[in-house]
Structure 1
């Protein structure tokens, strides 16, 4: 319906002409800025900082190195390195050679990265030693470390290359409807116009601190990487793990006095959910997907300005901007400099009266088109009949929109089936094409649902060839997800699947996406009907699960882990069962008796028949070399379940729990005896090996001694892994005076480091130190408590005795060097002092070296979501690698 309009507002909507250096390449402007403020800090990353002069000269030297490989203006270079100052330098260096860069996030699936390299015909892949040989393509691999080693042989002067505003700056691949990504070609003048407009509004000036959190494979990273260098502001870069950590981002904003930050609504939600309450002098740029109404007031209350940003990759990042002041005035604003926005119908009639049509974008941001896709380019990039400039194009966005009476534009969502999830633009057809390639899939439709406001989820609706049982279906879902993760980024893999007999269609024969049913999110893993409890024990277990897990409906076939069960709630469940029945079950019982039905049946067994073996089959099936993980000081192997379930389907995983948990067996207090006990149970099930051992915290020391004994017995230990285990370099043989001196020195260093942690993160440090103090008080009380040798009651009643025995074993154990390599999985965040933060003390004891794998989280949270998924990927890669050797 048409609405009254403000004619003057409409007439000025596209009156955006502004002069800018259209003929200049971006790096020339950045070099000019560097010459003006050479000694000002340009880039900050962790404890490093580089000045504008250092960044520009390093880029010049790297460009000189790249030019030795006969790079010509217009060539393409792929870039795949971790987030760091070198990433910024590399982007700038590639531009200085005259080449265009293809940004390749190293976390993306290998097949996807290799497709982008081949499709772009990249001459060079600029990467790091970490990824040497990882990607296979026709490009020549150049390692940035090798280039840096040769910097002294190159001039710091600007390369003598001829690059103009009409040359390509980058090719960025976006999701494609054919099942393959498509490369968008952006020229220097596209990028320069965009950045200079952003410098004015929303605005960036010298003195601002911009926090960069976006992967370079997302086009909005162009603003983060280049705008500070262009304006003289400071660029603070996060690593990939920190960029996903809401608490860490809040701390960075505070610690670095961040004044500008750009992110998708998803990232802002992550920060809010992490406890962000402080108001910062922060200008927020929010884009990538529609700005949710419920976020607006929350963000406004915590920042100085909130800006809504809109624009597809094909028109160079953002094309319109809007300063949002309240949740009643939401629009995408007006076009940026030298940009025109039209609302058109199928016949290209221009609607300025509020009529809804498709959003078309023209002007100097419009890309050259899609690389090697002339038909698609002609379809999406059409002649701009309104500009009066011969040959000019405008881009069909596929978004619906209208112009308000005040001249601002409102975006009303997608015309086609392209969606935005967590800020990423996704062609659903690409997911569907790859889902159809999976086992047992006959027909597939994928949609994005937002049944919970602010939490869009991808759901796959699948018609299968062969009907399967409920259990097999759950396995099938996991197989599909793993198959998709091999070819698609994680954000493009459906969270949920619904099995359909037929896909609904509209009367004209098209898929009726609106008729696709809502998944049962409360119990998404349940397949088949709900089976009610039949016995008193089944009812008891079901009632306890409902109460402690917050689930309204329980079937006796429901699986504890598939309902989201974790160790903390497992302890509560087992404690309640012991309280109600008097029977004490190991936590590990849940691995083999994980449904209500099976756990209730386990309660029928006589208490004396319940076994407390050390070897626990967490995930026993699979063809790969089994992994044996030794418990930490907490004695709980249930921690390892999420890690195991996120590993390869063919990867068996076992846990080792302490002897004595049942209160009957005597806890072992000699390290060699503990190790021998665990080895005996392993060898009884797997006599020939080879063996892959791992230990968490204290368990790492036990695993080390197990490796020692297995190797002495002539067995092959393929892998010895430490999960954040620290090796104490002191020994029991040290003289008393030296022991006292070392102890006093250690305490002083621990106090000093605790003060540093307190300054960096007071809330978390107080929480952690309070927990440690509480544990020490409990231990002390247990040691001096009267009647401690009387009958124990309650779950984990005997853990203090086992803990004391383990500590005694640790005190008396002497680490000796072994002819073995150690795979050290080191928590990124440190919560206590260590003499060796890099190798955690293991270098003297591993004659074949220590290989460090950094994993997200701190010591106590490496197995907690979402850290468990990333940990599992790193661990599986390591296991697969060592098994080949």
Structure 2
């Protein structure tokens, strides 16, 4: 071995010292760039274009608005905004105040976001009207819409705040092995050093167009959002839906002439599977997890450059970079500016001879440490004994690696049980600890498996306290997944579970994770009998599912999501269908047509023929005054079918389904807007009236607002009916203490009433309460795991998303008295406590009185046979009476 050559390579490895403005805060440098290129386009979002001047001045005004909330340098501000120019401006504005931001993805579980707010002691939560009141914290909630409306009150000059390179820029929470996320504290100089190094290599120039696709809760978003603003390049921001759609990303790269894009291997696979073939003038930055060998040739053939990026959050995004060509080995390259990488053994000896050890990283990217976690900070951020700089720290990554003779670093995977799945860093212990808190779990081990190349899956291996019968397995797995979704993001919830009698161990007593068995992915828990494909399209779709999902057999009524389908395999399926048939279907099609039978039938239908109007003709013919029934919280207008069919043959009945069921339209979350949307469709078909409105459960409140709006325009509302809807008195003006007291009293009364119900009908009460609990778990955390939700078919594939919007609308809606009579159809059997059992709270709001009609059943069974027949008779009689008045 040529020792001199090896020594030279190692010296060059950490010879990275470069001067940079270490004392300057990031926003100062961005403001300087804005002065140099005021009229140059800085941000593009859909049809919007903002110049550097627009962005900088907007950030200045927003910063001044935030400063009115007594923000000081070093304070923390949470940011929960959808992807938009306002999101970027908000981050920049927070830096200008001297505060640090905590990025909060609104799609994360509510409890997790609230923990981050509490742990960071954020003084302000900057969010939007869409998420108003959604998160509970002691922080002052500031709405971006309100701030924008006050911009005229502020000058466009930089705020007079003192911020230096040693002040915090952001606190980003990552998965924690103790069961709670941990906040990594990044200073301005950490971020400035990183970005200026990235400007040089891989490189970004003023003429570049960078496409930003990453959630702000992932640290690599810092490069995407700030580097273009720092160098004068153009930043193209995608919305959350586009960022997950491979075909849409390809089209956007072409349309916007994207020259730089950063993403995880998962996203690059999504684009490849969506049919990306065209070579683009694109510099690819690939990181977040190990670069798979099979991607190298494919990506190089379609781009100008492919860069492998490596670095943990604790050392500020990327710490090493490497240009990867087809004929080169995969390494993570060499350190960026002012960064040192060491390979260290257990005695902290620096291994320079090619031996394998743990990767330690030192230099100007090393974070301040973990927020409020001094012991963990001391454990992971240790004294840099190699630099010779007093007080300097280095971070122990937990990754194994070695140094080649040429000084390049090879990363060999994790020492501990932290893994990367689809680019997300996951502490497996956090999942295991939360599993142990769930029912019937005695022992739990979680690992990441990649039995299908390119499709990593988390698998939970469980020893249970009580045996589970085979027919009950599916329900148990769903309960575990729902329980985890209550506290963890979707990407941390296992896709599969395996029941174990014992957990294998190694001779030294440690869990032998390599000996854990492969799940039987083909073991489908089918509720009905197997139905083989019957048509050419069904045969084609079934064959594609079998191959890409590694399943032995598919019944035509098997549900894609219940089979464990995820977005990556969905992209592969759609790409294969397009290749085989020439028909391109949007990715969201699988949510609506989730079985082989439905997807195959969808291939035979003209896309233009599919409509998503809210007004649904249930029984449209007849000479009588039409009845319009608004959906309940379950959104299922099919509930009203049996009721309608039992009414008079001349009685027309229409249902109203929520906007957004197609997965494209945004669900409405303001009660007045929901009502106006439904009214517009009714009037389009029936402009003159008169109108008979009804609503089931939540739908009753919507129907009430519809009546209010119709009457305000002079329309005649002959009937306003409530199908077992409770009018909860608004408390929006009450203090927080009053709300807590009222809520506590209500909870006590509900508990007391439950004992009454148990005495009357214990079996039914237990069944009902269990059902309600299950539904609440599903509703609360629907948006992070559509594939793990209850079976969804037809119009109802997006019901949980719309439920969330509807519940927000309900929380913010204030009932006011209306000059009308209310026809209250009240279920005879009460299954939950109400403050007003007689009129369900409606008397204060109906100036002409409340007419009570008792109907058989309880809240959830009034439409079920045989109750539907009696209900129909009572309802028809009421309709006929009001028609004559």
TM class, shorter-chain normalised? 0.5 to 0.7
1: distance between equivalents of 2:792 and 2:223? 31
- Check if 1:422 corresponds to 2:373: no
Task: Give CA deviations for 1:792-815 in whole Å, capped at 9, x if unaligned.
Answer: xxxxxxxxxxxxxxxxx9999778
Shift of 1:304: 0.4
Contact preservation (8 Å) 2:662, 2:798: no
1: distance between equivalents of 2:312 and 2:137? 29
- Check if 1:215 corresponds to 2:215: yes
1: distance between equivalents of 2:539 and 2:563? 12
1: distance between equivalents of 2:80 and 2:140? 13
SS in 2 for 1:521: coil
RMSD after superposition = 4.7
1: distance between equivalents of 2:554 and 2:156? 70
Contact preservation (8 Å) 2:617, 2:655: no
2: distance between equivalents of 1:819 and 1:208? 59
- Change in CA separation of 1:560 and 1:44 when aligned onto 2, cut-off 3 Å: closer
- Check if 1:320 corresponds to 2:305: no
Shift of 1:11: 1.2
- Check if 1:183 corresponds to 2:110: no
Shift of 1:133: 0.5
Residue 202 of structure 1 is matched in structure 2 by 202
- Check if 1:670 corresponds to 2:663: no
Contact preservation (8 Å) 2:626, 2:691: no
Residue 395 of structure 2 is matched in structure 1 by 395
Residue 365 of structure 2 is matched in structure 1 by 365
Equivalent runs, 1:640-659 vs 2, <5 Å: none
2: distance between equivalents of 1:846 and 1:135? 34
2: distance between equivalents of 1:137 and 1:151? 26
Shift of 1:819: 7.8
SS in 2 for 1:262: strand
Residue 450 of structure 2 is matched in structure 1 by 450
SS in 1 for 2:438: coil
SS in 1 for 2:472: helix
Task: Give CA deviations for 1:460-508 in whole Å, capped at 9, x if unaligned.
Answer: 1111112122221100111111121121111111111111112112222
Residue 804 of structure 2 is matched in structure 1 by 877
2: distance between equivalents of 1:245 and 1:385? 46
Contact preservation (8 Å) 2:625, 2:690: no
Contact preservation (8 Å) 2:381, 2:393: yes
Contact preservation (8 Å) 2:209, 2:236: yes
2: distance between equivalents of 1:247 and 1:846? 43
Shift of 1:875: 2.6
- Check if 1:142 corresponds to 2:142: yes
Residue 227 of structure 1 is matched in structure 2 by 227
Residue 613 of structure 1 is matched in structure 2 by none
- Change in CA separation of 1:877 and 1:327 when aligned onto 2, cut-off 3 Å: farther
Equivalent runs, 1:767-786 vs 2, <5 Å: none
Contact preservation (8 Å) 1:362, 1:393: yes
- Change in CA separation of 1:721 and 1:96 when aligned onto 2, cut-off 3 Å: closer
Residue 410 of structure 1 is matched in structure 2 by 410
The number of residues matched between the two structures is 666
Q: TM-score w.r.t. structure 1 length?
A: 0.68
Residue 131 of structure 2 is matched in structure 1 by 131
Shift of 1:555: 11
Contact preservation (8 Å) 1:719, 1:822: no
Equivalent runs, 1:103-182 vs 2, <5 Å: 103-182=103-182
1: distance between equivalents of 2:237 and 2:58? 17
Contact preservation (8 Å) 1:817, 1:847: no
Shift of 1:410: 0.4
Equivalent runs, 1:722-871 vs 2, <5 Å: 723=661, 871=798
Residue 549 of structure 1 is matched in structure 2 by 542
SS in 1 for 2:252: helix
Shift of 1:872: 3.8
Residue 78 of structure 1 is matched in structure 2 by 78
Contact preservation (8 Å) 2:625, 2:651: no
2: distance between equivalents of 1:556 and 1:80? 42
2: distance between equivalents of 1:137 and 1:295? 44
2: distance between equivalents of 1:267 and 1:152? 41
Residue 242 of structure 2 is matched in structure 1 by 242
Contact preservation (8 Å) 1:210, 1:234: yes
Equivalent runs, 1:569-584 vs 2, <5 Å: none
- Change in CA separation of 1:162 and 1:251 when aligned onto 2, cut-off 3 Å: same
Shift of 1:876: 3.2
- Change in CA separation of 1:556 and 1:146 when aligned onto 2, cut-off 3 Å: closer
Equivalent runs, 1:276-295 vs 2, <5 Å: 276-295=276-295
Equivalent runs, 1:469-480 vs 2, <5 Å: 469-480=469-480
1: distance between equivalents of 2:483 and 2:687? 46
Q: TM-score w.r.t. structure 2 length?
A: 0.68
Shift of 1:714: 14
- Change in CA separation of 1:71 and 1:870 when aligned onto 2, cut-off 3 Å: farther
Contact preservation (8 Å) 2:171, 2:184: yes
Residue 64 of structure 1 is matched in structure 2 by 64
Shift of 1:443: 1.1
Greater shift, 78-87 or 428-437, is seen at 428-437
Task: Give CA deviations for 1:820-866 in whole Å, capped at 9, x if unaligned.
Answer: 6999xxxxxxxxxxxxxxxxxx99997799xxxxx99xxxxxx9999
- Change in CA separation of 1:693 and 1:69 when aligned onto 2, cut-off 3 Å: closer
SS in 2 for 1:437: coil
Greater shift, 875-884 or 120-129, is seen at 875-884
Structure 1 alignment gaps of length 5 or more: 528-532, 567-593, 600-630, 644-655, 660-667, 680-688, 728-808, 824-841, 850-854, 857-862
SS in 2 for 1:107: coil
Task: Give CA deviations for 1:214-254 in whole Å, capped at 9, x if unaligned.
Answer: 00000000001100000000000001111001111011100
Contact preservation (8 Å) 1:112, 1:488: yes
- Change in CA separation of 1:415 and 1:815 when aligned onto 2, cut-off 3 Å: farther
- Change in CA separation of 1:271 and 1:847 when aligned onto 2, cut-off 3 Å: farther
SS in 2 for 1:413: strand
1: distance between equivalents of 2:43 and 2:63? 19
Residue 193 of structure 2 is matched in structure 1 by 193
Contact preservation (8 Å) 1:33, 1:231: yes
- Check if 1:376 corresponds to 2:369: no
- Change in CA separation of 1:692 and 1:513 when aligned onto 2, cut-off 3 Å: closer
- Change in CA separation of 1:395 and 1:847 when aligned onto 2, cut-off 3 Å: farther
1: distance between equivalents of 2:559 and 2:143? 47
2: distance between equivalents of 1:540 and 1:76? 57
2: distance between equivalents of 1:822 and 1:250? 44
Shift of 1:870: 7.9
- Check if 1:351 corresponds to 2:333: no
Contact preservation (8 Å) 1:129, 1:145: yes
- Check if 1:257 corresponds to 2:184: no
2: distance between equivalents of 1:163 and 1:558? 61
- Change in CA separation of 1:539 and 1:726 when aligned onto 2, cut-off 3 Å: closer
2: distance between equivalents of 1:864 and 1:558? 12
Contact preservation (8 Å) 2:661, 2:799: no
Contact preservation (8 Å) 2:404, 2:410: yes
Contact preservation (8 Å) 2:194, 2:318: yes
Equivalent runs, 1:530-569 vs 2, <5 Å: 549-550=542-543, 564=563
Task: Give CA deviations for 1:287-330 in whole Å, capped at 9, x if unaligned.
Answer: 00000000111000000000000000000000000000116421
Contact preservation (8 Å) 1:693, 1:720: no
- Change in CA separation of 1:153 and 1:459 when aligned onto 2, cut-off 3 Å: same
Residue 29 of structure 2 is matched in structure 1 by 29
SS in 2 for 1:332: coil
